Every structure is written in C-alpha cells, then in structure tokens.
A and B are shown apart, each in its own frame.
Chain A
Amino acid sequence: MTGVGRRSFLRGALAGAGAAAVTGLTVSADAATSTAVAFHGVHQAGITTDPQKQAIFASFDVIAASKGELAELFTTLTDRARLLTAGGALPPLGITAPPADSGVLGPDMPGDDLTITVGVGASLFDDRYGLKGRKPAKLTAMKEFPNDSLDDSLCHGDLSLQLCASETDTVLHALRDIARHTRGAMQLRWRVDGFQSPPRPSGTQRNLMGFKDGIVKPEPADHDKLVWVGQGNGEPAWTDGGSYQVLRQIRMLVEFWDRVSVGEQENMFGRRRDSGAPLDGNSESDIPNYSADPTGGAIPLTSHIRMADPRTPDTAASQFLRRGYNYDKGTDSVGDLDMGLLFCAYQQDIARQFEAVQTRLIDEPLVDYIRPVGGGYFFALPGVRDSNDHFGRSLLA
C-alpha cells in the first residue's frame, strides 16, 4: 500500500542523522514520534498487544445484501485497517470528491499505536450468507446470567470492532473512517468508548470502584492453550489463529458503592483497595494462599477473586486474557452516573473459560453494586497475514 511505503520512508528519513532538519515546513511532532503497530500477522493485533490508553468497542449489524457484498465488506475493512494503522496521508482524490480524510488527525495522521481488531458474532452464521456450516465451534449468542440486566439494544451484533490507540481522537477518527466506507454493508448497533486509567500510584489500572482490576494475566507461554484457537478442539480449520472475544458492559453503581465501608468493599473483592494486595498478602503481585485459609478468615470464600479463580488444578484451564476498559457514559434518569467497566476477555473456549468463571461468580456479594447491561460474544478473526490477505479470506473461502 502507498500509505505503508510512505510511512516507512518517513521513519527511515527521520532516523537518518540530521534528517529532521529538512523542515522548511514542519513535520508534526505526532507524525515524527508516533508508532505504528504491525497490522499483518498470524494473529490480529489488539489482543496480546499491551492495552493502549483509549478504546472504542463497537458492534455492527451486517446489512450486506449477499455473500458477495459481505466479502466486499471484509476487503474494505482490511483496506481501511491497513491504511489507518500505518498512518500517513490518505491518497488524494483531487477535484473528484470531498477530502479523503476527515482531517481530525491533521494532514499526516500518526499511527498512534492504533490497532483494529475485527470479530464476528454467531448471528452472522444464520441463513443470510450461507455460512451456517462455518460457525466457530464454541460461538453462541451471549448468554444471560442470573444477575444480568441485559438491554437487547446494547447486546450482540454480527461484527465487532475493537479500536485501540494512545489518543481519543485516533480511535474516533478510525471509527468515522470505517463507518464512512462501510455504510451500505453494516450499521452500528451499539458502542462503548473506554479508557485505561494510569497506575495510581503504581501497578495495574484501577476500575471505577477504586480497585485494581486485571492484575492476574496468563503467561505468554500459555497463550496457545488459553487464548488462541488452533487446529483441533473441533474447530473448523479457518479459525486457526483467532480467539474468542467476550464483551460485557458492566455498569457500576458507583454512588451506592461509595456509601459502603472500605472493609466491606475489600471483603467483596478480596483485595486491599489501596495496594491491590490479596487480603492475605502485602502487594498486588502476591499470590493468595487459599489452602492456608480454608475458612476464608483472610480472604472471604465469597470474595470476587476467590470465587472467580479458586486456583485449583482443575480451574487453571478457565483462566483467560482480560483487556478491559473503564467507561463513562453520562447520567441516568435519577441523576446517577452511568459508568463502569467494558469487560473484554480473549480465550480459546467461552464455555470452558469465561462462562465457567462467570458461573462461579453467580450471586457473589458484588452483584448488588454492578449491573451487566450489554455486550456480546464474538470470534476475533485470524490475523491478516500479508498485503495479499484480507479479513474473512479463510472464512469465506
């Protein structure tokens, strides 16, 4: 692609001694310093990528009129993602059209760590596109759990986009560009804008209940058995390199929460609020020792961390990769703040991992202070391997 070539030249030029001095006109600081995350690969970027600060999670209903139009949609998504993640100026259209770019990121858009991760929902595999026999083996519509208050307009969808970057304008720019090029093929169903909080004062980000959230992560060495869908497991061959994505819009009833004593809060999570340490430890990285605390004297048996992950040999396979973002969506009808967590998890098998954990969490004490209202299950497609590849190639082949 032209954009890619131009960007790599720019980086090359700037690396050269004194090359930045060519500025008779200015090269913007953003364009000069920002980075592009590699778009091509066996897996999509944005899954094991360190979470960037800003995100948009968007779910679309596909309205393409035929399988051919669906294929065009995937090709267009690939082209836009390739251009947007590489950065640089979009190809000029001369006098034949309005500007190619919204201009939100200036004339030379920075790469800005942008990742664009595409997933498909179970509903895409209905009668419309003849894909019934191609559905990933573990993909279903999102299940409603006993403590959920799901709003259908905030749930499900045929296709998910996870857009992540260092800056808010970059993800908004990407969403606008993609929507502009795909209007006739898909329509936005729901979306949640999220942000990562900086370490306060250190370590893992805090959620909007004030607790460190996402402390435990699978080791990279375990990604093949916990995150990536590979050959076998009853999966169709086209899914190789993909990953199941679970999105949950979990509203936090923060006003109610703020009226709860810190001791009760800590017992619900099982961690100290200030340090993130498990209640039997001193720092967030300490591993809780449940066998030394069989009655829950230190970490209550009903605490979130203990119910979610009892750390027994037979629950090890239910671990998954979390990539959640805090969200803030304004106010509700009684003037309370509508905010919470856009829970995002990647895994190999939703039933074995997310659903097993969520089932253990049914009726945990925390449920009075949170309200899962939306989300969906998706299958994040295998990566786009190279410049001749595109999203959906193996799916539609």
Chain B
Amino acid sequence: MRTPRPLPAAIALVALGAVVAVAVWRPWSGSADAVGGPAQITVSRSQCGQGWTGAKTGRQTIVVHNTGDAAAEVDLVEMSSNKVYGEVEGLGPNTSAPMDVQLGAGRYAIRCLIEDTDAITAPTVTVAGDGEGGPAAVAVTKNDMLPLVKQYEAAVAGGVADLAVKTDKLRADVDAGNLAAARTDWLPAHLAYNSLGAAYDAFGDFADKIDGSAGFHPLEKGLWHNASVAALKPIADQLAADVQGLQHDLPNEQVDPNDLGLRAHEVMENALQFELTGENDQGSGTSLNTALANLDGTAKVLAILDPVLKPRDPDLAQVQKWESRVRALLTAHRSTPVARLDQTSREQLNGAVGELLELLAPVAAICEVRRSS
C-alpha cells in the first residue's frame, strides 16, 4: 500500500530559532563563487534568503543549508508571477540540500516555511540575462483545494448511493436464487464502484471488503464458476452490507486535499496493474470494462481539478487527447477479455494508458498542497 504523503506542514518540527542558509554552487556553472566552493550565506528567520549573490539566468544549483534546530521547507519563487521554480521539503536541522533550478529573467525570492511561523519571504533578487526559465507553477494551497474536495466528496457520495442501489439488487438476485440475473447485475454494480475515482486507501478497510479479497471478486468467481446459491448468499449479503456501511461512514471520512491530485494518476495506475493485466479477472472477462469505469472516475477527478490545473499544467490538452484515446480503445474492446486481445490491440491499450499515466503524474505533482503563507 502506498504511504499517504504528509502535508508539508506536518513534516516540520516545532521551530525555534530556525536558521536557513542559502548558497549557489555548481562547479561547471561558470560563476565566480565556484572557485572557492559553495558560498555560505546564512539567513535567520528575520534574514531568510539574504546574501543570495551571483544569481543569473539559466541552469544553476542553489544549495540550501539549514543551520537552525528545526526542519524547514524552502521555495524559490518568482515574485511577479508567484510561480515556484524549485523547492526543498523537509530540510532537517544542520543539513543542506541542492535545488536544481533553471531561471529566466525575473524577480526571485527565497521563501522559508517553518512550522508555527508565517512564511518568510526574503528580499527580492533581480535576475537578468538571456537564459530561458524552466517549468514552474504557482503553488496550490489548501484553500485552493478545499472547495474542490467538497465537490469531490459530494460526487463520491452520489456515486456510493448509486452503488448501494446496485449492490442491493445484486443481493436480491442471489437471495432469490436467480444467478443468471445476478451475473447480469454484477457488472453494473462493480462498475459503479470502480468509477468512484478512488484508489489505494481511499475508503480505509471498506475498500478491501468491497473490492479486494472480499466482496465483488469472490462473488464474481462463484457466479462464473457455477457456485451454489448457498455459497454465494453470504458473500452477496456481506457486500451489500459493507456498501451500506461505507455509505453511512462516508460523512466521517475526510478526504485529504493532497489525495485529489494523487487519485488523478493512481486510479489508472491501478487499472494498468490489475485490469490491463487481467489479474483481477475472476471469470467475468470484464477487466477492460472495469478499466473504462476507472477512466470515468479519473475524468471526474480531472474535471473537478480543472480550475487548479488550467492555469498550471501546459500539457492539459495532451491529457485530454490521451484520455480520449484510452476511452476509444477501452470502449472498442470493453467486452473482450484481456487474454483474448490480439497483440496489436493490447499494445495500443498498454501504450495509451502508459502515455496517459506519464501525463497524469505531473497532475499529482502540481496539485500537491503547499504552504505559501
């Protein structure tokens, strides 16, 4: 299981007298200070970033040295655009770390983020030259994300309500001994769960109960391998009960603002690992249909994130292009078990999902919640 990423604030210790030193050094960067080794520019909380000399455009490495007694986060911000060009997270006391940055002409400042302390922005350094700036983005803050999290929670609540109706129907089929109907109703219920846009620990223990070692897949195995009604009844009953449990529990489950960006790529990471491989298939042959539901869930998350992504992700059009291509391929092959795909189709699917994932990984990075004040 993936370890949830902590909020940046959570990694900082209580900071008293935290001191951050900044130096610029790269032996092949051609700057004068390279000859004498890294310049030690020490700045205290009241002097954060002072003494940053030799700044220029182009590639360079800034070495950040924390001489204080508390962990800190350091950002390099271009002040007129408010874009972050580099960051070092979790810089422990008495440690240093390089920040590889590529700067264009502009007005830059070091920002020191120390827990229990407002952000300290150093005096602005004007950088002039012809060098081209690298990729940068305005930091996404908790406040940016909170309204989106509310939308996401509402969407999930709606999805779970729909799921509950479908798992109840599935239970009724099995309880009535109508396994043909159950086989028909299993798929919409399973797709309803898989289009929620959830991955990994999203629903805590419920995830495993509903679509892990218990729940949908044991039921699938039985339904497609002639299990008896008596054997399937307890599984179907438990599944419906667990979905209701999830529905009741949902208001208590708080979505971490960081999770939204992570979901944008993790749902399809799961689809690639478990559906496109056929690993999750217990006999229904519906892996690609499930992957399509996963794509729907991802699209839902992307739509919610759009206001945050639009001004920040220059590849958003590419994300949409590859999402459409994956959708077209999955739709064309949705009824074919993975193992029966011809090699070309399978490679097209694997490649398109892989390309989409490469484009979704930046979404997660951009949407990582950062402090700016």
Chain A residues near B (Cβ < 8 Å): 2, 6, 9-10, 13, 19, 22-25, 27, 61, 63, 65, 89, 91-98, 107, 180-181, 183-187
Contacts and interface: CB of A to CB of B under 8 A. Distances in A.
Contact of B38 (A13, A24, A107): A24
Contacts of B38: 24-25
Contacts of A93: 134-135, 362
B347 interface: yes
Judged by DSSP, the binding face of B is mixed
Q: Which of B28, B313, B356, B368 has the most CB of A within 10 A?
A: B28
A10 B101 contact: no
B134 A92 contact: yes
Contacts, number: 106
Interface of B: 25, 27-28, 30, 34-35, 37-38, 59, 63, 84-87, 98, 100-102, 134-137, 139, 312-313, 322, 325, 343-344, 347-348, 350-352, 354-358, 361-362, 364-366, 368, 370
Contact of B101 (A61, A63, A94, A187): A94
B87 A95 contact: yes
Given A61-B347, A63-B351, A184-B351, A10 B137 contact: no
Given A61-B347, A186-B351, A96 B365 contact: yes
A18 B352 CA distance: 51
Contact of B351 (A23, A24, A27, A183): A183
A27 B38 CA distance: 13
Contacts of B25: 24-25
Contact of A95 (B34, B350, B351, B368): B368
Contact of A94 (B37, B135, B354): B135
B362 A96 contact: yes
A25 B38 CA distance: 8
B366 A96 contact: yes
Contacts of A22: 27, 34-35, 37
A79 to B, nearest CB: 15
Nearest to A19: B27
B358 A23 contact: no
Contacts of B357: 183
B134 A13 contact: no
Contacts of B59: 2, 6, 91-92
Nearest to B23: A24
Contact of B365 (A10, A61, A95): A95
Given A9-B30, A25-B63, A95-B139, A89 B100 contact: yes
